[in-house]
Structure 1
Amino acid sequence: MKNTKLLLFVFLMTALVSCSSEKSETHKKERPNIIFIMSDDHAYQAISAYDNKLIETPNIDRIAKMGVLFTNASVTNSICAPSRATILTGKHSHLNGKVDNHFQFDTTNITFPQLLQDAGYQTAMFGKLHFGNNPKGFDQFKILPGQGSYYNPDFITKHDGNIKVDGYVTDIITDMTLDWLENERKEDEPFMLMYLHKAPHRSWLMAERHLDDFTNREFPEPKTLFDDYSGRTSPAGEAEMNILHHMSWAGDNKVFPEVMDELGIAEIGFDKQRYTYEYSRFTDEQRESFMEAYGKVNEEFKKAYPSMSEEDMMKWKYQRYMQDYLGTIQAVDENVGRLLDYLEANDMMENTIIVYTSDQGFYLGEHGWYDKRFIYDESFKTPLLVSWPDRIRAGSRSDELVQNLDFAQTFLEAAGVESPDDMQGESLIPILTGNDGQWDRDAVYYHYYEYPAEHMVNRHYAIVTKDYKLVHYYYVEDQWELLDRNKDPLELKNFYDDPAYADIKLDLHDRLEALRTKYKDSNEISQKYIDLLMKDAAEGKVFGVSKEKVEEIKERRRRLM
């Protein structure tokens, strides 16, 4: 009898363990792979799924055709490193501490890759992180130091130390990514892969194979290329990112330094220095290709320059900017195609979430600008395309107000991992799976901090709805803007003092204060970050601003107090 009971007990326990093991294996297999593709400064205007006036991006568009394209995706702080910190932590800049490119990232922050790794995900990162040299939560990484280089780049690696790889950076990052998928990934475990491009970040050096094509293309000009910055508050006019006045001749537009000297053209910022650094990284063969393509550009410029008006120069610099910027995107699109082809060839699409985005938007001549930082759409909005077969309806679009703040909680929910209570985003799973009724966000919060510094864009915070933006510029001057996104889509007029908007303004003020409370932002926190940056700026430690400029700003502030 005892033996019978013992046998029965062993049988039941074996069955339970077997059942539990099967459930565990089923859970493992059901958890989706996650591939997060992000480029640096890739404007939504330069993706043909959004608008094909500038360039065709058939491979990036494939993601939208397989899934959903978001038309109202945005960032919480439009500048590189802070955006990446928000993506990793799921927190606004003032809480994760990475408010600008100047101060270091607080590595005590818990990031979603750490949580996925702890939950059994394989994790890998290749490309541009932008801060730090030892990202937490990754089994494998090979990252560019800082901004990285377009040609023959250096990499910081987890297992091989610091290395230099010959070739073009966009191709190399993809080679590393595909090699990991093919040779290091464990097929029986889910993975989270961050595939992060340097392009199309300044100084816009395209691959050799695209030089002849793109240096001969001509592009349509934006309607606001010659914006005079009237009709709004003063920060638009104070900013130093106008294509004519602030984009450098050699470092950005590839005018040879000797041609600048011959024509008597003065440097703009770190002009020749930027050019010399990039030029020094070429191999002899790469240098020959560069000189052949841009030699023709320089010869034509030398002939035209003596009779050029300021308007002509603006038009010429815009075309040069677009040729180089879009040329770098051509390589990004080709390489995204390589990744998608690999996934299809290896039957890996079915249970894989693929995201394509940028760390923020970018001005492509709108308002006469390059760069980002402002809350005007081309900077504030960012491309977002997501595919997940059998979960997301192919070819769908969403105009919901989603942000980079939401990625962490989205990936954690998809993986069945609980989000920390201090994450501030919202999971996009309801929108992705067609349950929009479970999504009720009607406004987002934005806060930009890096002033005074390069490009001199004033500090501001804002509430943004589908219809309006209420923006507060608070340092140096105290100014408000109310933008009507429907009536004035080019964002050229401030309606703040228009009596017709009195009720709308009051409502937005109330809702803005509620958002600041919800996200735990305050004037005291803002002042803390002002004091920290101003201290370093006064000591000459902040890139792009002189001690003399800091004293001017302090004097402006004193006059207003």
Structure 2
Amino acid sequence: MKNKILLSVSIAMAALLSLATSKPNKPNIVLILSDDAGYADFSFQSNRFITTPNIDRIAREGVKFTDAYVTAAVCAPSRAGLLTGINQPEFGNVDNYIKGVKYTIPQADYGIPQNIKLIGDYLHPLGYKNGIIGKWHEGFSKPYHPNSRGFDYFWGFLWGSSQYFPGKAVEVEENGRPVDPASIPYMTDAIGDHALDFIEKEQNNPFFLYVSFNAVHSPLQSKTEDLEKYKEQFSDERKLNNAAMTHSLDHNVGRIYAQLEKLDLLDNTIVIFLNDNGGETKHIRADNYPLRGHKSEPYEGGIRVPMAMRWPAKIKAGTVCHAIVSSLDILPTILTEAGGKLPKKPLLKGENLFEKAAQNADREDDRALYWLISHDEGAIRQGDWKLVFESDKAPQLFNLRKDIGETTDVSKTESKKYRKLLTRYDRWKSTLPPKRFMPLREREGSVD
């Protein structure tokens, strides 16, 4: 009898130990964001630049979204929309926040409003450990710091850019504590290193990891060995540096992939990749082909981005989805898959990306997306049609199915569609609160 009791206790303890060390059933989420890259600058998008096999793998083993958008044409407001699932003009965040520019609010008051939840706030009650590695750009003082906004762990920088070279990065911190610049290698590698560390540490918990690369945002600073790989291919120094920095970015995405595979987490991890806004063409020579425009503009080249997602539990490998999708869809998608319920207030207007990919919905989707960016420029897209508002110009109407490059304004010949979209946009704009802050005087040429 005693032996039977001991055996039963042993079996029970073994079961508990196994449960404690087993991988989580809830999916992990790794959200990878690149910075300022062009629409055509990854090889799952085009063959116009360099090969990016690790980023391509996300699309090859999952879904590529051809008509994917972010909510702003510059960094900080775009990230605010991504992290909240709310189009950021709807809570007053429209302009970028750039070092060296004076604003109508002090630096300590800048950030996403305190009454707005971020992704981590939704995932915490579901048992998730949340980390951000890299660029924040959503506030500086304690109430707006990542560790106060749903992230258990933060390693990175609060401003919108950083030096890349070893020992040169400034104002990098780890959970609020300054990091010695001498301890930091090349920044893209450093972000990769800390992403790997976070994954290993949290491998037995469901986790959300936001890997917020600053590559390929300026300054153009590349590793010598990466420059050597492409010096025969590119004579333009800026394009050469962009290639080298893109290579480093892709390499570190591969390292994250390898870590997930090594720890047997890959197939239970939702991996999402996208860029934060349209490509920056002046300083880094990003390529937005075949789109018109660039970062900071309401044309497609400012707001339409490369985007791919992988999770074999829900996505068939090699899927190409032509539905209109948005960075606003990411929060409700992962919240639903994590077992959470979408809040009734605020109303998250995003849609489930897995359902979009499964349906392989076409561009004829009647969904409407809205943009309001600096200088009261903006746009509305509904189905194939897009109305663009640019400073000192009458609104322009484009049919994106026939004219993806926005070359021909058809507002005169499609007057009924023009009036319908104009009315709808004006109605949306009339619901917006006042801007929370504005630049008093912009630094010349600033699009940080």
TM over 0.5: yes
Q: Give the corresponding residue for 1:227.
A: none
Q: Normalising by structure 1, what TM-score? A: 0.65
Change (3 A) 1:391 1:366: closer
Of Structure 1 and Structure 2, which has the larger fraction of its residues in helix? 1
Q: Tell me if 1:166 matches 2:180.
A: no
> Can you list the C-alpha shifts for 1:320-361, whole angstroms capped at 9, x where unaligned?
332122221000001111111111122111211000111122
Q: Give the secondary structure class of the aligned counterpart of 1:137.
A: coil
In the alignment, residue 322 of structure 1 is paired with which amino acid?
Answer: K
Q: Give the corresponding residue for 2:323.
A: 400
Q: Give the corresponding residue for 2:271.
A: 354
Q: Tell me if 1:544 matches 2:414.
A: no
Mapped to 2, the partners of 1:496 and 1:378 lie a distance apart of 20
Q: Give the corresponding residue for 1:486.
A: 401
Mapped to 2, the partners of 1:193 and 1:389 lie a distance apart of 19
Q: Tell me if 1:379 matches 2:374.
A: no
Q: Tell me if 1:137 matches 2:37.
A: no
Q: Aligned match of 1:149 in 163, 173, 193?
A: 163
Q: Normalising by structure 2, what TM-score? A: 0.81
Q: Give the corresponding residue for 2:429.
A: 521
Identity %: 29
Of Structure 1 and Structure 2, which has the larger fraction of its residues in strand? 2
Q: Give the corresponding residue for 1:194.
A: 210
1:439 CA displacement: 11
Mapped to 1, the partners of 2:275 and 2:25 lie a distance apart of 28
Q: Give the corresponding residue for 2:194.
A: 176
Change (3 A) 1:37 1:394: same
Mapped to 2, the partners of 1:369 and 1:463 lie a distance apart of 16
Q: Tell me if 1:427 matches 2:352.
A: yes
Q: Give the secondary structure class of the aligned counterpart of 1:424.
A: coil
1:380 CA displacement: 1.8
1:467 CA displacement: 2.4
Change (3 A) 1:524 1:40: closer
Change (3 A) 1:512 1:496: closer
Gapped regions of structure 2 (runs ≥ 5): 1-15, 98-102, 104-109
Mapped to 1, the partners of 2:333 and 2:72 lie a distance apart of 19
Q: Give the secondary structure class of the aligned counterpart of 1:521.
A: helix
Query: Over alpha carbons, which structure has the higher Rg?
Result: 1
Mapped to 1, the partners of 2:245 and 2:238 lie a distance apart of 11
| Moved segments of 4+, more than 6 Å | 367-370, 437-440
Q: Give the corresponding residue for 2:122.
A: 115
Q: Tell me if 1:450 matches 2:374.
A: yes
Asked if 2 retains the 8 angstrom alpha-carbon contact of 1:211 and 1:327, the reply is: yes
1:377 CA displacement: 2.2
In the alignment, residue 430 of structure 2 is paired with which amino acid?
Answer: S
Asked if 1 retains the 8 angstrom alpha-carbon contact of 2:71 and 2:326, the reply is: yes
Pairing 1:134-533 to 2, within 5 Å after superposition: 134-135=145-146, 136-146=149-159, 147-151=161-165, 152=167, 153-154=169-170, 155-158=172-175, 160-164=177-181, 165-182=183-200, 184-187=201-204, 189-218=205-234, 319-362=236-279, 363=281, 364=286, 371-421=294-344, 422=346, 423-432=348-357, 434-435=358-359, 441-451=365-375, 459-473=376-390, 475=391, 477=392, 479-497=394-412, 499=413, 501-502=414-415, 506-514=416-424, 517=427, 520-522=428-430, 525=433, 528-529=434-435, 533=438
In the alignment, residue 543 of structure 1 is paired with which amino acid?
Answer: R
In the alignment, residue 167 of structure 1 is paired with which amino acid?
Answer: P
> Can you list the C-alpha shifts for 1:98-133, whole angstroms capped at 9, x where unaligned?
211136223402112111012210111101112324
Number of aligned residues: 397
Q: Give the corresponding residue for 1:54.
A: 49
Q: Give the secondary structure class of the aligned counterpart of 2:317.
A: coil
Mapped to 2, the partners of 1:119 and 1:65 lie a distance apart of 30
Q: Give the secondary structure class of the aligned counterpart of 1:330.
A: helix
In the alignment, residue 429 of structure 1 is paired with which amino acid?
Answer: F
Q: Give the corresponding residue for 1:106.
A: 112
> Can you list the C-alpha shifts for 1:62-82, whole angstroms capped at 9, x where unaligned?
111111010000112111000
Q: Give the secondary structure class of the aligned counterpart of 2:132.
A: strand
Change (3 A) 1:351 1:439: farther
Asked if 1 retains the 8 angstrom alpha-carbon contact of 2:368 and 2:383, the reply is: no
Asked if 2 retains the 8 angstrom alpha-carbon contact of 1:97 and 1:105, the reply is: no
